[in-house]
Amino acid sequence: MTSLSIQNAAAGYGHTLVLRDVSLEIPEGEVVCLLGANGAGKTTLIRVLSGLLPLKSGSIKLGGDDISRLDPISIVSRGVATVPEGRRIFPDLTVRENLQIGAYHRRRSYAGTNELDFAFEMFPRLKERADQMGGTLSGGEQQMLAIGRALMSKPKTLLLDEPSMGLAPILIQTVFETIAQLSRTGITILLVEQNAAAALDVASHGYVLDRGEISLHGRADDLKADPRVQESYLGLA
């Protein structure tokens, strides 16, 4: 039971509320996507879930345990890893070191050899470049590295914030294939995306966030067929 559920979450910065009343269910082992325009609050929700931003009200439950008040490291230790927006890797650490630091919460600097093998298996390209500096990788490789680093904490749940942003179309395809592949290993995934078509293809359920509130949710297939989603997020009239 490691489903992630958010109930009536409200959060923001200072006096500004970015999330008003957000409820979301991510069933164990499934991919749920969260769509929404710029400024809808998608990244804020990720920050809340990873413990970087405190909730003003509402709650977050992981498999029945309340994790609303936990700090980021406790959340990572409970198997919830985040791939932040915009390929945030460490440019002056080698690829290997970038990955190793993903096991930071384990307190031993060498921990995670098995996970390193798993990440290299998942992304053979990273193995080829293990001793190169992270900053010398291409955009797509950096995104793989960011995902690989998150996998180092052996997550049961992965939060992906716009993994396809700024990538060439062919690389976007690779990223979504990776997500599907990760999902097959049993990892629960919350996928925040602007690329609605690709996200709904890989997800089982979807939510639409609009100005801090969930305006629509349902099975991915139903959302794809929904005229409101087609018009606003799929570019179909």
The residues that touch another protein, with contacts defined as CB under 8 A, are: 50, 52, 71-73, 75-79, 81-84, 88-93, 96-97, 100-102, 104-116, 127-128, 130-131, 146, 149-150, 153-154
The distance of closest approach from Cβ of residue 124 to another protein in the complex, given in angstroms and rounded to an integer, is 10
The distance of closest approach from Cβ of residue 226 to another protein in the complex, given in angstroms and rounded to an integer, is 32
The distance of closest approach from Cβ of residue 8 to another protein in the complex, given in angstroms and rounded to an integer, is 25
Q: Which is nearer to another protein, 129 or 217 (CB)?
A: 129
Q: Which is nearer to another protein, 140 or 206 (CB)?
A: 140
Q: Which is nearer to another protein, 15 or 108 (CB)?
A: 108
Whole-number Cα distances in Å, 105 to 100, 102, 145:
11, 8, 18
Whole-number Cα distances in Å, 62 to 27, 28, 46, 65, 73:
10, 10, 14, 5, 15
Q: Which is nearer to another protein, 76 or 229 (CB)?
A: 76
Q: Which is nearer to another protein, 42 or 96 (CB)?
A: 96
Residues 6+ positions from 143 with CB-CB distance below 8 Å: 87, 163, 167, 171, 175
The distance of closest approach from Cβ of residue 113 to another protein in the complex, given in angstroms and rounded to an integer, is 6
Q: What does the H/E/C string look like for 81-133?
A: EEECCCCCCCCCCEHHHHHHHHHHHHCCCCCCHHHHHHHHHHCHHHHHCCCCE
Number of H helices, E strands in the chain: 10, 10
The distance of closest approach from Cβ of residue 194 to another protein in the complex, given in angstroms and rounded to an integer, is 19
